[in-house]
Chains A and B, each alone.
Chain A
Amino acid sequence: MRWQAREKGTSPSSSPSGATPPAAPADAGLPSEAPATELAEAVAALRALDHVPAAHAALFERVCAPQWRARQRLSGKAFYPALSAEAASQRLSNGFHLIDFARLRLDEAELRPLWEGLSAVLAEFGELSPAQAERGRKLAAAGKLSLTELAGIVLEGDGARLAALARRVRLPQRHLAWLATFMLRPHLAAAAESLAARLGGVSWPHPTCPACGHEPLMALLVRPDGRRLAECSMCATRWEARRGRCAFYGNEDKESYKFLYYDLDSPYRVDVCDKCRRYLKVADERKMAVGWATQLAAEDVATLYFDVLVATRDTRRPGGPCRASRLPRRQSQRGGDSD
């Protein structure tokens, strides 16, 4: 996305039309804070791209703004207990991700603004009826729908409990999972940030995030050495996913593991594995303008044409709501800490 803006002759901080970044969306119940600079820059960059529909850029902004603000509020808050270096090393060496969901202290009061704001987005784009959005808001406000319980169900990937909850509150199951995922993302990101020191220098050969166990959203080839770093779809933690092999199950067979691209000079491509039917879009930071922090969430929207391309190959997009948080070889990680 940055490269394309540069190709169009625009500077990193401006759109071709010279328009100013969009104003903060009026999310009900949220503090009236200006969107983060990074978000405004990402939205402006998306809008400058001819191939990104305006509705996609608008949706990106509407979905990300509440999460961005929540992330800023949660930064520095201790809602995940400290983890000793020894305990962290023990978990990682045994293949467990650091965050034990049973110990995640979610705050209903912090979840509610996200719930309301994101429900409004779904209603705005026609995914929920206004009546459904209003019912969800009232249920949460009255305490008849526990958002922490919903978040826990989604973290555990318990489809049966989610279905039962959806029937009880009379809201679509898919949207409950969607809403829970986006409510959780700022919390998991903040928890992962508090544990960042425990991840430094760790060798992690698994296909899911070492912090929270979720799948990557995209990957980045970083300067200067071109290491491929996968970025978590939930907490945005980055870990090294060795090049030349499938990031999910290590397939190195060149007949079944390859990448698709349109132009070698473009920073974007998609790595596809025909054995596990997974794919991972990759952005090459070395081919982008220097000095910009790469926002992979926005790059994901800017490269949806790759998702469309590989959808015809019967592949499964990584990440997403209600994915199991367990590593392929491990069972439940409840009660694993001993610090």
Chain B
Amino acid sequence: MKLTRRTFLKMSGALAGYLLTGPSLWGGVRVPAAYAGVGPKVGQDTTSVCCFCGGGCGNVVTASEGRVVAVEGDPASPINEGALCSKGQAAYQTANQIVAEETLRDDGRYALGGTLAAWPAGRRLARVLYRAPGASKWEVKSWDWALERIAQRVVETRQVTWEAKAGEITVNRTQAIAALGGAAHDNEECYLMQKLWRGLGLVYVEHQARI
């Protein structure tokens, strides 16, 4: 690193005394050989809140050159004091699993373009895939098709497995369908989902936070 006399003097004037302005020490500061010819990079540390459950653990997200390069717990957060659960740690994957291209190959495998060499491509699905009963291949379907199909199956399953009574007790339920809420759902969403499921007669209603 080229060090001008002016820069050196300016710096050494403010030093706590380790470097002096003697001629023998001018220009002596060097960058480690591994970094010679490599320019410094810029990064930012941002404190944030984990995107998963409602615990609200704090994290420190390190970003550089337009991407997240590290996620760790925020030691200053009184909630987690620097710790993160496995899901919180996985926020790094959540941030970096960006699908660049999607291709359904002839062998039925779904090929996705990866954006990071560190992670295997194609680990995160971004489109609906459907494999018909007995089929060996996946088909790409639209959301409209998928939602219609899901509703149809819910209705069919409910009708087939409906229990009006258990012995002498009126139950009006179906035990063939289960529902699972997630931590990314807020209170209002959970309320609506619960209303829907209970209204359909589901009794196996769970939430990730209870597990």
Contact = CB atoms under 8 A, between A and B. Distances in A.
Given A126-B20, A226-B75, A261-B41, A305 B29 contact: yes
A49 B33 CA distance: 10
Interface stretch (A88-96, A148-156, A309-317): A309-317
B16 A319 contact: yes
A262 B83 contact: no
A4 B32 contact: yes
Contacts of A263: 34-35
A264 interface: yes
Nearest to B24: A55
Interface in A297-317: 300-301, 304-305, 307-309, 311-312, 316-317
Contacts of A317: 11, 14-15
A260 B40 contact: yes
A316 B47 CA distance: 26
B30 A305 contact: yes
A228 B22 CA distance: 35
A277 to B, nearest CB: 11
Contacts of A244: 45-47, 60, 74
A308 B17 contact: no
A301 B18 contact: yes
Interface stretch (A32-40, A56-64, A104-112, A135-143): A56-64
Given A243-B60, A244-B60, A307 B75 contact: no
Contacts, number: 146
Contacts of A53: 25, 28-30
B120 interface: no
Contacts of B20: 59, 122, 125-127
Contacts of A320: 14-17
A226 B23 CA distance: 40
A326 interface: no
Nearest to B42: A258
A85 B15 CA distance: 35
A224 B16 contact: no
A305 B38 CA distance: 13
Contact of A224 (B11, B42, B64, B82): B82
A119 interface: no
A56 B75 CA distance: 35
A240 interface: yes
Contacts of B38: 262
A170 interface: no
Contacts of B75: 225-228, 243
Contacts of A73: none
16 contacts: A55-B24, A59-B19, A60-B18, A122-B20, A174-B13, A217-B16, A224-B82, A226-B60, A227-B75, A243-B47, A244-B45, A244-B47, A258-B44, A304-B18, A316-B14, A321-B17
Interface of A: 4, 49-53, 55-56, 59-60, 63, 122, 125-127, 174, 178, 181-182, 217, 224-228, 233, 240, 242-245, 252, 254, 257-264, 269, 300-301, 304-305, 307-309, 311-312, 316-317, 319-321
Given A178-B17, A260-B41, A311-B7, 11 more contacts: A56-B29, A126-B23, A181-B16, A225-B81, A226-B73, A260-B42, A260-B43, A309-B1, A317-B14, A320-B14, A321-B16
